[in-house]
Structure 1
Amino acid sequence: MTIYNINLGIGWASSGVEYAQAYRAGVFRKLNLSSKFIFTDMILADNIQHLTANIGFDDNQVIWLYNHFTDIKIAPTSVTVDDVLAYFGGEESHREKNGKVLRVFFFDQDKFVTCYLVDENKDLVQHAEYVFKGNLIRKDYFSYTRYCSEYFAPKDNVAVLYQRTFYNEDGTPVYDILMNQGKEEVYHFKDKIFYGKQAFVRAFMKSLNLNKSDLVILDRETGIGQVVFEEAQTAHLAVVVHAEHYSENATNEDYILWNNYYDYQFTNADKVDFFIVSTDRQNEVLQEQFAKYTQHQPKIVTIPVGSIDSLTDSSQGRKPFSLITASRLAKEKHIDWLVKAVIEAHK
């Protein structure tokens, strides 16, 4: 049995979805349950390991869609500047450094390499850009080895990305992504070709060899929902509702406007083994709405996102009738409701 948790991206300023996943990952570790957290976005600005480790995932819990078909492991960056320069011939003339950006120039040649360091005090490189005669021609991305290259061609004085290549540990290419300029990307392997990301994701899902002892938990579905739903039918499928799931202002006696991030999942609720919400109240509301507006009666369970083992008492006493809230200043967080509620409570 393996629990597969599917998400899109992750960053240094992650959302509540990623923190919920990180808490879940810790629970699964404590319970000795085999679990994988899958990220399907193209993440190249940073080594994905730095992002996932920062929030609390173990390396062996993480699957990144794009290196899944290679033998590259999730691991911290250990490639040095000298390692990078080995990919780029020429006699070095001098270096210029500004924070985490190191630029290396060469004698008698109109070319230079820009290395983007993990830390300005370390000699470790996350990615490098190669410029020849004023044109960006290639970017390489590193962890403990080179795992991806991007190739560019000049067009209208702009560097246009036309191909990505992903490698095995020994440096052999595994597949190319042909960008196709505004059309669907083409994923080219030696023995097969996939047209568009959905076909690529489908191949990934099939490679998991899911069975009824496995559980797929879908945290985000944008762009991949249909494929995940179809391929996860050989396992059990759960959908996590991370936010308010409908628009109250656009809902009446005859029609409900679901949150667009959950519309596909709710419309196809008969394909879902169970939905996960954070509170009993949301559970009650969602069950009532399914009964009123749809033909579905799915199983809905309440599992809080996180918890604390005990409350810590203040040695100086607590300020009565006060609270603290922490969230992004985003409209959907309804901080205005909290302010109004506190005002009413103080009355």
Structure 2
Amino acid sequence: MNIFINKGMGHGNSGVEHAQFYRAARFRQKNIPFKLVFTDLLPELHQHMQEWHLAEDEVIGMYDYLLSDDPDQYLKTGLTEKFSFQEDSLWDLTNTQRRQVRQTTGKYQEIIIRDKRYSDDKKIYIVDDSRIFLENGDHKISWHFREVPSRGKVPTNIHLNNFRGSDYLFETFEELVTFFLGELENSFDKNIYFIDRGNENEEALVRAKKQGADFKIVDIVHAAHLVEFQNGHPLFNNFYQYMFDHFDTMDAVITATKLQRDAMKDDLKNQVEVTNLNKIHAIPVGGADINEPAHHWDGKEARFVTASRLHPEKHISQIVKAIDALRKEGLNATLAIYGSGADEKPLNDLITELNLGDYVTVKGLSQNVVKDLQAYDAFVSASYSEGFGLTYIEAISDALPIATYANLYGAQELVQDGVNGKLAEFSRQDSDEDQNVVNLTAAMRAIFDDYDQLSQGAHEVAHVYQSDRIADQWQKLVEELS
């Protein structure tokens, strides 16, 4: 079985989850069996699966499995009953929430007990989760929390009752995950684990393999792997340090771009055995399912669009400021922003402050980005870092020229300056933000100086990233590892 390991998914997801969904589609295309596995507690998991068109027999939720009446059947079919998410709360006389009961979308109930304590440091009362109980009849999981200075609150003393007729006690969440992954290993044959997220998942699998378990590990790199070099030694992204420390245990490492593959090989050439460098492959995490014909711009309204999580690291406020600059120059530029996240209110406040309410619109989350982008002329991104950039591919599919900062690795691989878009130089220093906006504004303006040619370029680039080709790459990798 091909098992995609992650922690969670939801109504709005990051590029990691969308990369998994895209990979799942390619595996379906080639009739390659797979399961998406999530280890977080996800009370609304099955509702979100429906939103993102994941079938019940394609997903394994750790808590669904451990609380199942028939674990073996659950692994084959998923849930066979539908449950609606509901919750109710109990409040004390001080208007403090003490108990919350949730009917999850799985076949179990979640009970949260909260305590209230006075913080001498903060001089306020703090209400926080104290105990968690998950129950499906006589199948139960419960734990309380302990404080770890470097990690905050973590589950401890995890009781698992009546799983396959036995009771278990795990001191840490990591022990529970190790047990769960061991169950998967015993339930499926010829397993290949594709690790997308979760250090505890990766560590458990590496330990098991070093102890003699017979399976393959494929580590998926979703972001920049290198922070910097110090005294000739590479300092890697914390999310990938464990992978590099145990590189000999990995059977394959997948980057989304050839640029990152080549950079990783160069960064590791003095760190690992030369033969291990051949484990690194480049397979795009997204591709073009359609290939729209090139567009013609009529010279009237320049309709820009962007789509991403609405978080500070996406720097969408800089796009709003660039739209303001373009309008002041006389270009009838508008912007549609698709996505959700913590930056939604600050963005709306900025739009109001700049009097752009008639020209910049926050559209909310898109469930079909390729379709929604078709209503616009050009795509724009202000991200400083993209391991790939799924929305670049979605824009290319629609033959939209792209204006973006020249980030590693996505923009520099997917956007060819003067061919299918314009790249803007940028600095990561906060003090240089104004100059960044000037550069991005220039790239956005240049799109419409040579629009038709750039749209034709996007149409041609889309041929390289057709989903059929990417499905072939995944099939080849699975066959080589099997």
TM-score (norm 2): 0.54
Q: Partners of 1:7 and 1:154 in 2: how far apart? A: 33
**Of the candidates 279, 285, 292, which is equivalent to residue 263 of structure 2?**
285
Measured after TM superposition, the shift of residue 333 of structure 1 is 2.5
Which residue is 2:62 aligned to? 65
Q: Partners of 1:76 and 1:332 in 2: how far apart? A: 44
Measured after TM superposition, the shift of residue 43 of structure 1 is 2.8
**Of the candidates 225, 247, 251, which is equivalent to residue 273 of structure 1?**
251
Q: Answer yes or no: is 1:339 the counterpart of 2:424.
A: yes
Q: Answer yes or no: is 1:52 the counterpart of 2:49.
A: yes
Look up the equivalent residue of 2:131 and give its one-letter code.
Q
Shift in alpha-carbon separation, 1:149–1:17, aligned structure 2, 3 A: same
Q: Answer yes or no: is 1:238 the counterpart of 2:218.
A: yes
Q: Answer yes or no: is 1:202 the counterpart of 2:178.
A: yes
SS of structure 2 residue aligned to 1:187: strand
**RMSD after superposition:** 3.3
1:115-146 per-residue CA deviation (whole Å, 9 max, x = no partner) reads xxxxxxxxx54322233544534222222654
**Of the candidates 88, 94, 101, which is equivalent to residue 128 of structure 1?**
88
Which residue is 1:95 aligned to? none
Which residue is 1:174 aligned to? 140
**Of the candidates 147, 157, 163, which is equivalent to residue 131 of structure 2?**
163
Contact 2:99–2:113 (8 Å) recurs in 1: yes
**Of the candidates 188, 191, 204, which is equivalent to residue 159 of structure 2?**
188
1:302-327 per-residue CA deviation (whole Å, 9 max, x = no partner) reads 211121244211464699xx997644
**Of the candidates 280, 283, 303, which is equivalent to residue 300 of structure 1?**
280
When structure 1 is superposed on structure 2, of 224-233 and 62-71 the one drifting more is 224-233
Measured after TM superposition, the shift of residue 179 of structure 1 is 2.6
**Of the candidates 177, 183, 196, which is equivalent to residue 219 of structure 1?**
196
SS of structure 2 residue aligned to 1:33: coil
Measured after TM superposition, the shift of residue 19 of structure 1 is 0.3
Shift in alpha-carbon separation, 1:304–1:33, aligned structure 2, 3 A: same
Look up the equivalent residue of 1:198 and give its one-letter code.
E
Task: Give the percent of matched residue pairs that are identical in Structure 1 and Structure 2.
Answer: 21
Contact 1:17–1:242 (8 Å) recurs in 2: yes
Contact 1:38–1:64 (8 Å) recurs in 2: yes
Q: Partners of 1:238 and 1:266 in 2: how far apart? A: 13
Q: Partners of 2:298 and 2:305 in 1: how far apart? A: 12
Look up the equivalent residue of 1:172 and give its one-letter code.
D
Which residue is 2:474 aligned to? none
Q: Partners of 1:323 and 1:266 in 2: how far apart? A: 40
Q: Answer yes or no: is 1:228 the counterpart of 2:205.
A: yes
**1:67-146 maps to which residues of 2 (within 5 A)?**
67-71=64-68, 125-133=85-93, 134-142=95-103, 143=105, 145-146=107-108
Q: Partners of 2:289 and 2:129 in 1: how far apart? A: 50
Which residue is 1:114 aligned to? none
Look up the equivalent residue of 2:26 and give its one-letter code.
V
Measured after TM superposition, the shift of residue 77 of structure 1 is 9.4
1:187-234 per-residue CA deviation (whole Å, 9 max, x = no partner) reads 113422100111111111111125771100001133443113223552
SS of structure 1 residue aligned to 2:199: coil
Q: Partners of 1:125 and 1:201 in 2: how far apart? A: 25
Look up the equivalent residue of 2:2 and give its one-letter code.
I
Contact 1:7–1:37 (8 Å) recurs in 2: yes
Q: Partners of 1:33 and 1:226 in 2: how far apart? A: 26
Shift in alpha-carbon separation, 1:147–1:32, aligned structure 2, 3 A: farther
Measured after TM superposition, the shift of residue 37 of structure 1 is 1.1
Q: Partners of 1:136 and 1:36 in 2: how far apart? A: 38
1:23-63 per-residue CA deviation (whole Å, 9 max, x = no partner) reads 1112222323221111122334xx11122332232222122
Which residue is 1:93 aligned to? none
Q: Partners of 1:344 and 1:192 in 2: how far apart? A: 59
SS of structure 1 residue aligned to 2:238: coil
Q: Partners of 1:53 and 1:183 in 2: how far apart? A: 30
Which residue is 2:109 aligned to? 147
Which residue is 1:40 aligned to? 39
Contact 2:99–2:111 (8 Å) recurs in 1: yes
Shift in alpha-carbon separation, 1:244–1:315, aligned structure 2, 3 A: closer
Residue ranges of structure 1 left out of the alignment (5+ in a row): 80-123
Shift in alpha-carbon separation, 1:274–1:318, aligned structure 2, 3 A: farther
SS of structure 1 residue aligned to 2:178: helix
Which residue is 1:111 aligned to? none
Q: Answer yes or no: is 1:257 the counterpart of 2:235.
A: yes
Shift in alpha-carbon separation, 1:183–1:31, aligned structure 2, 3 A: closer
Q: Partners of 1:196 and 1:255 in 2: how far apart? A: 34
Contact 2:46–2:106 (8 Å) recurs in 1: no
Q: What is the aligned residue count?
A: 294
Q: Which has the higher contact order (CA 8 A, sep 6+)?
A: 2
When structure 1 is superposed on structure 2, of 14-23 and 219-228 the one drifting more is 219-228
Contact 2:64–2:106 (8 Å) recurs in 1: no
Shift in alpha-carbon separation, 1:183–1:29, aligned structure 2, 3 A: closer
Residue ranges of structure 2 left out of the alignment (5+ in a row): 119-124, 148-152, 162-166, 316-382, 387-403, 407-422, 426-438, 450-482
